[in-house]
Amino acid sequence: MLERLDHVRVGASDPAAAAADYARLLAVPAEPSTRCEGAWQLQIGATGLLLVPVGEGAEGMQALVFAGAHEAPVETETRGITIEVDPACPLPVPPQRSLSPGAQRLDHAVVLTTDHEAALRLYGDRMGLRLALDRSFPQRGVRILFFRLDGVTIEVAGPLDPPSGSPTDRFGGLAWQGADLVSWHDRLGSEGFAVSPHRAGHKAGTRVCTVLEGTSGVPTLLIGPDAEGA
């Protein structure tokens, strides 16, 4: 059984600097990690973010690491991305909350696919994640699957008419949830972060904005309740 998504591993050319950026972005503390030499880590709710050193040009999401007693899928099942299972992951200890508006938890991690049926077999049948949504959006030309585990969603999205050739997957980014998106957005703007204007989210009752830099190459969305539309 898988227990939770323990952490997301991200490659950063300068993990200490990246950790400082993420600490300000998410309003959580960062500290050196013992998992990998030169790595830094942050804990956001039940899910961690592990920043490991990589060369220039290799930044970005590297792996989703789950905790639990389960065999990790092999590379042919994941079609190009890395999913690991670590049965030795200790239960996380959430840090003391910052007073600044920021992230409370990881809302979802995005995987982009060209083979939805293979994704159903992997995340549902093989890994035992609960399928919470399987919906096509003809106007957007996409089909989206939501797999949920301990409050975190693995969002698998891809075209309704995938291109021919060998199916491949790739990481699409992370979405962090906070209690007050507008205040969070305003704080980031005042601190010099490049963020898009906030807007209504695809999910009813939410507002979102996109972080445009300072995430080590990880497409990043911030989500909160839509107080303006209430």
Question: Residue ranges of the alpha helices (H) in 46-115?
Answer: 75-78
Q: What DSSP state is assigned to residue 195? A: B
Residue 21 host element (H or E): helix 15-26
Residue with tokens 């600044």: 100
CA distance 175 to 189: 18
pLDDT tens for 177-199 read: 999 999 999 999 999 999 999 99
- Cβ proximity of 220 and 207 under 8 Å: no
What pLDDT does 228 receive? 64
Position 229 scores a pLDDT of 54
Q: Which CATH number fits domain 2-91+101-225: 1.10.490.20, 3.10.180.10, 3.40.50.10680, 3.40.50.720?
A: 3.10.180.10
Domain boundaries, the chain: 2-91+101-225
* Whole-angstrom distance, CA of residue 67 vs CA of residue 56: 30
In the prediction, which pLDDT does 165 show?
81
Q: Confidence band (pLDDT; 50, 70, 90) for 91?
A: confident
pTM across the whole model:
0.95
Confidence at 86, pLDDT banded by 50, 70, 90? very high
Task: List phi, psi (to 5°) of 122.
Answer: -70, -60
